[in-house]
């Protein structure tokens, strides 16, 4: 792959690559080198209208909504195969776009294909023959139909630009919806691989469309009268704005937003095991994961031990070239995000937190790229900004607690409620504790989403549910037909 190959002036609309009407472009910078390496069109309202029209035509005119879930599943399984076959190409683009370490980005195609295959397996759930008798009247019943909503707008973030599209695309397709995908401006190229896979898999033209545009133009997509459903992953700030738009239009919306999850380390926890999990559950993808447990809650009796366990895990992890398969921490995804992380590290120091590792300034030997020092703050109280506000970078805080009730109170003292973890040798005790945490998901001694189980945020972390059969409901509407036997 060369930089020249990633300069383009086309969008994927109606099953083919078409030249953008706008004549404007979005530049793409490699965050590890700060070098411009790609360019894509900045679609305008006319481009967006064409994409929605193509999706609408495919929904009814070309029959995607009418062929039944079993037939759609055959297409989806072929799409999964074609997508997974492009794993290396996809990983290289993702890492160039947002600096995700290749150890992470190399899993993107497999993960996305797995989601497609899982939802294809739910075809019978979508087309279930659901007859409901009238209570006390055997001569009448109601046929309940699960109907696709129509054209869905899927708006993706930059941290997991493929995975967080697939979590929306797979249930939308099996439900019978057609889609227009809008990737983040920072990561507009990786989904071109998905479009290539869609063509190779023979998906009908217009079922999947891709438009790259700035956040200033996305309102034309959200507010388009032929868009029946909006799904968004991103910041709480933007999610509020989209919710206001969709609320005014009475348009259903799914929002997976920010987080500031807590990791509760109980007194009996194995700290060597906890140390081995830090970079998987607390700082995954250089801290740029919405459900990361970035607040570590430690018992007062073992506080110093926990601080050292966290600090050593962070200090010992390799930082640098994201294309090195041994790298754990890459750069922040953009210059803007790098500035945010840098500011928060200074805020933590100004608030009086102690730096257990990391701190202000660039890491040694990394004089270019959006790299900041992976940082652990000790002597933090939960009222500090670094404990309350989402940083979305390689920054952890360790907060002491007195007893389990105090730990729960601190964990719940947050505007967010997305994820969380509990570390202990007593998993039954942890399950009872997890039920008291105000978040959509909690892991015991690990955290990993299960594609067969619902995932969604509470409080300011979102509206609605993704994953599992429940994820299909976001893309369907119910119709009751009352009849006699």
- Model confidence over 296-323: pLDDT tens digits? 999 999 999 999 999 999 999 999 999 9
Mean pLDDT in residue range 259-285: 98
Q: 307 and 441 share a domain?
A: yes
Rounded to two decimals, the pTM is: 0.96
Whether the CB-CB separation of 52 and 157 falls below 8 Å is answered with no
Whole-number percent of the chain with pLDDT over 70: 99
What pLDDT does 63 receive? 87
- Domain hosting residue 269, numbered range: 262-449
Cβ proximity of 98 and 159 under 8 Å: yes
Is residue 439 pLDDT above 50, yes or no? yes
Instruction: Tell whether 332 and 392 lie within a shared domain.
Output: yes
Catalytic residue list contains 438: no
**Residue 2 reports pLDDT greater than 70:** no
24 within a domain of the structure (yes/no)? yes
For 5-30, what is the mean pLDDT? 93
Do 422 and 433 meet the contact criterion of CB atoms below 8 Å apart?
A: yes
Residue 92 forms part of a structural domain: yes
Is 70 exceeded by the pLDDT of residue 442? yes
pLDDT higher than 50, residue 67: yes
Q: Are residues 356 and 207 in the same domain?
A: no
List the CATH number of the domain containing 166.
Answer: 3.40.605.10
**CB neighbours of residue 364 within 10 Å:** 8
CB neighbours of 374 closer than 8 A, spacing ≥ 6? 283, 286, 287, 314, 315, 317, 319, 329, 357, 358, 394, 395
Calculate what percentage of the chain has a pLDDT beyond 90.
96
User: How far is it, in rounded angstroms, from Cα 211 to Cα 231?
Assistant: 15
From the CA atom positions of the chain, what is the Rg in Å?
Answer: 23
Q: Give the confidence band of 60 by pLDDT, cuts at 50, 70, 90.
A: confident
Q: Are residues 191 and 42 in the same domain?
A: yes
The per-residue pLDDT for range 208-242, each reduced to its tens digit, is: 999 999 988 899 999 999 999 999 999 999 999 99
CB of 289 within 8 A of CB of 261? no
Same domain, 28 and 176: yes
Does position 124 have pLDDT exceeding 90, yes or no? yes
pLDDT of 160 higher than 50: yes
Confirm whether 366 is domain-assigned.
yes
pLDDT at 65: 96
Max Cα-Cα span within the chain: 79
Residue 398: inside a domain: yes
d(C-alpha 417, C-alpha 420), whole Å: 8
Strand (E) or helix (H) holding 19: strand 16-19
Q: Are residues 207 and 243 in the same domain?
A: yes
Average pLDDT, the chain: 96
Q: Which is catalytic among the residues 82, 104, 186, 256? A: 256
In this structure, the answer to whether residues 206 and 303 fall within a common structural domain is: no
Instruction: Count how many domains the chain has.
Output: 2
Q: Is residue 321 in a domain?
A: yes
- DSSP-derived letter for residue 475 is T
Q: What is the pLDDT of residue 5?
A: 57
Can you tell me the mean pLDDT for 77-101? 97
Distance CA 154, CA 37 (A): 26
251 with 274, same domain: the answer is: no
Tens digits of residue pLDDT in 325-345? 999 999 999 999 999 999 999
Do 15 and 155 fall into the same domain? Answer: yes
Say if 349 falls within a structural domain. Answer: yes
Q: Is residue 379 part of a domain?
A: yes
The mean pLDDT of 101-121, rounded to a whole number, is: 98
pLDDT above 50 for 33? yes
Residue 454 in domain: no
Q: Is 361 exposed, middle or buried (0-12, 13-18, 19+ CB in 10 A)?
A: exposed
Condensed to tens digits (0 to 9), the pLDDT of residues 372-407 reads 999 999 999 999 999 999 999 999 999 999 999 999
Q: Is 225 exposed, middle or buried (0-12, 13-18, 19+ CB in 10 A)?
A: exposed
**Catalytic annotation present for 290:** yes
What are the beta bridge partners of residue 230?
153, 253
| Residue 253 confidence (pLDDT) | 98
What is the domain-level CATH number for residue 419?
3.40.309.10
Average pLDDT of the residues in 459-469: 97
**In terms of domains, do 103 and 187 share one?**
yes
- Selecting among 290, 308, 390, 466, the annotated active-site residue is 290
**Judgement on whether residues 215 and 347 belong to the same structural domain of the protein:** no
Whether 230 and 328 share a structural domain: no
């Amino acid at each position: 792959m060369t930089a020249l190959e990633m300069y383009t002036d086309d969008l994927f609309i109606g099953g083919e690559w078409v030249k953008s009407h706008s004549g404007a472009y979005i530049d793409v910078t490699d965050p590890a080198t700060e070098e411009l390496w790609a360019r894509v069109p900045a679609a305008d309202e006319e481009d967006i209208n064409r994409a929605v029209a193509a999706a609408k035509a495919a929904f009814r005119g070309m029959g995607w909504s009418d062929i039944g879930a079993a037939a759609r599943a055959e297409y989806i399984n072929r799409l999964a195969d074609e997508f997974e076959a492009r794993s290396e190409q996809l990983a290289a683009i993702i890492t160039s776009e947002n600096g995700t370490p290749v150890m992470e980005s190399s899993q993107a195609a497999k993960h996305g294909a797995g989601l497609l295959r899982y939802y294809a397996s739910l075809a019978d759930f979508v087309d279930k023959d659901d007859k409901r008798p009238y209570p006390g009247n055997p001569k009448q019943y109601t046929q309940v139909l699960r109907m696709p909503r129509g054209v869905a707008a899927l708006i993706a973030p930059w941290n997991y630009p493929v995975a967080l599209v697939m979590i929306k695309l797979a249930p939308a397709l099996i439900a019978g919806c057609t889609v227009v995908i809008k990737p983040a401006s920072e990561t507009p190229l990786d989904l071109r691989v998905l479009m290539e896979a869609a063509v190779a898999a023979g998906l009908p033209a217009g079922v999947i469309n891709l438009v790259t545009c700035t956040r200033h133009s996305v309102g034309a997509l959200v507010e388009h009268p032929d868009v029946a459903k909006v799904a968004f992953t991103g910041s709480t700030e933007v999610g509020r704005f989209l919710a206001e738009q969709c609320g005014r239009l009475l348009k259903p919306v799914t929002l997976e937003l920010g987080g500031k999850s807590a990791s509760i380390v109980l007194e009996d926890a194995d700290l060597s095991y906890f140390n081995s999990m830090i970079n998987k559950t607390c700082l995954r993808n250089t801290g740029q994961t919405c459900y990361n447990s970035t607040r570590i809650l430690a018992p007062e009796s073992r506080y110093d031990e926990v601080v050292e366990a966290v600090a050593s895990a962070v200090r010992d992890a390799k930082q640098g070239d994201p294309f090195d398969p041994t790298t754990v921490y890459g750069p922040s995804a953009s210059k803007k995000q790098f500035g945010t992380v840098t500011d928060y590290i200074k805020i933590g120091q100004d608030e009086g937190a102690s730096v257990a590792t990391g701190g202000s300034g660039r890491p040694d030997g990394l004089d270019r790229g959006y790299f900041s020092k992976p940082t652990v703050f000790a002597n933090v109280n939960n009222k500090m900004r670094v404990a309350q506000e989402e940083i979305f970078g390689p920054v952890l805080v360790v907060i002491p607690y007195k007893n389990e009730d105090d730990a729960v109170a601190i964990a719940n003292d947050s505007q967010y409620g997305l994820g969380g973890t509990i570390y202990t040798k007593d998993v039954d005790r942890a399950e009872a504790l997890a039920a008291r945490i105000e978040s959509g998901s909690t892991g015991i001694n690990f955290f990993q989403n299960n594609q067969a189980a619902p995932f969604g945020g509470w409080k300011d972390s979102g509206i609605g549910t993704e994953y599992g059969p429940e994820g299909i409901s976001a893309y369907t509407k119910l119709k009751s037909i009352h009849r006699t036997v």
